[in-house]
């Protein structure tokens, strides 16, 4: 049985969308649709659409709407139970989603630019299981390998400082207008602070308990 809800997580790069949505999925019955994760997987598998997307991602630019909308549509096989993470990121994407399904709530994670840059430059990810670390706030006990599975940790190409600045600009110009688009469904959550505290706030705001 799915939750009967469709949720969107909005927030700048590094706001914690991936971390918080993965925690929600572990605890409740949702299907996680992260366009960033899907694109990275397609690149790894040499999928032609992934190859097309790669150049945009490396520059911190958004991948064209048509490609993203096709990917999302190909992954939706039921009416509800989805958490959209990193999608929609533009008004045309939001309008396309409206035509596909109903959205119940939109969670916006608010984090300052200074904090975002610190989080992203120090982020490291396990190539094997996707577990995220931070070189200072949450280092792996195994150095450059994952605590959980021993996989090698890597830094995303777009987590380099020059690209991060571009991604933050893109968020402000192209994605932030969605806050107005979703104003009636919007739940603003302070995304700074301890991961579990942010998670408790989200669960409370969504009345999931």
* Catalytic machinery residues: 17, 89, 123, 156, 167
**Four-residue CA torsion sign, 149, 157, 121, 32:** negative
Q: Which two tokens stand for residue 108?
A: 């916006």
Kindly state whether residue 107 participates in binding ligand AMP, applying the rule CB under 6 A.
Answer: no
R_g of the chain, CA atoms, integer Å = 16
Stretch that binds ligand AMP, among 3-11, 35-43, 127-135, 182-190 (CB under 6 A): 35-43
Q: Which two tokens stand for residue 6?
A: 């469709």
**Per rule CB under 6 A, count of chain residues that contact ligand AMP:** 18
C-alpha–C-alpha distance, residues 47 and 40, integer Å:
10
Query: Which of 8, 10, 33, 39 is the binder for ligand AMP (CB under 6 A)?
Result: 39
In the range 59-88, which residues lie near ligand AMP by CB under 6 A? Answer: 60-63, 68, 86-88
| 3-class secondary structure, 20 | helix
| 3-class secondary structure, 131 | coil
Q: Which two tokens stand for residue 183?
A: 């104003």
Q: Which is nearer to ligand AMP, 52 or 105 (CB)?
A: 52
Q: Scanning the structure block, which residue is given the tokens 């603003």?
A: 188
In the range 158-197, which residues lie near ligand AMP by CB under 6 A? Answer: 158, 167
Min CB(82)–ligand AMP separation in Å = 14
Q: Which is nearer to ligand AMP, 132 or 142 (CB)?
A: 132
Give the E-state strand segments of the chain in sequence order: 7-10, 31-34, 82-85, 105-110, 123-126, 132-134, 153-154, 186-190
Q: Which is nearer to ligand AMP, 115 or 142 (CB)?
A: 115
Cβ atoms of residues 44 and 53 within 8 Å: no
Q: Which is nearer to ligand AMP, 142 or 160 (CB)?
A: 160
Min CB(25)–ligand AMP separation in Å = 16
Query: Which of 28, 56, 181, 199 is the binder for ligand AMP (CB under 6 A)?
Result: 56
Given the rule CB under 6 A, which residues bind ligand AMP? 13, 35-36, 39, 56-57, 60-63, 68, 86-89, 93, 158, 167
């Amino acid at each position: 049985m799915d939750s009967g809800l469709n949720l969107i997580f909005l927030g700048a790069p590094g706001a914690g969308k991936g971390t918080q949505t993965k925690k929600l999925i572990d605890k409740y019955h949702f299907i996680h649709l992260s366009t960033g994760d899907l694109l990275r997987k397609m690149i790894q598998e040499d999928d032609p659409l992934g190859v097309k997307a790669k150049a945009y991602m490396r520059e911190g630019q958004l991948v064209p709407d048509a490609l993203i909308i096709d990917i999302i549509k190909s992954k939706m096989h039921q009416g509800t139970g989805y958490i959209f993470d990193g999608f929609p990121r533009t008004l045309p994407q939001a309008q396309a989603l409206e035509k596909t399904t109903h959205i119940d709530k939109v969670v916006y994670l608010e984090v300052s630019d200074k904090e975002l840059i610190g989080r992203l430059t120090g982020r490291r990810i396990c190539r094997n299981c996707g577990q995220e670390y931070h070189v200072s706030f949450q280092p792996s006990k195994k150095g450059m390998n994952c605590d959980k599975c021993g996989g090698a940790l890597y830094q995303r190409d777009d987590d380099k400082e020059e690209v991060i600045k571009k991604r933050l600009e893109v968020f402000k110009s192209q994605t932030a207008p969605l806050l107005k688009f979703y104003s009636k469904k919007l739940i603003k959550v302070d995304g700074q602070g301890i991961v579990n505290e942010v998670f408790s706030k989200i669960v409370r705001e969504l009345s999931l308990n």
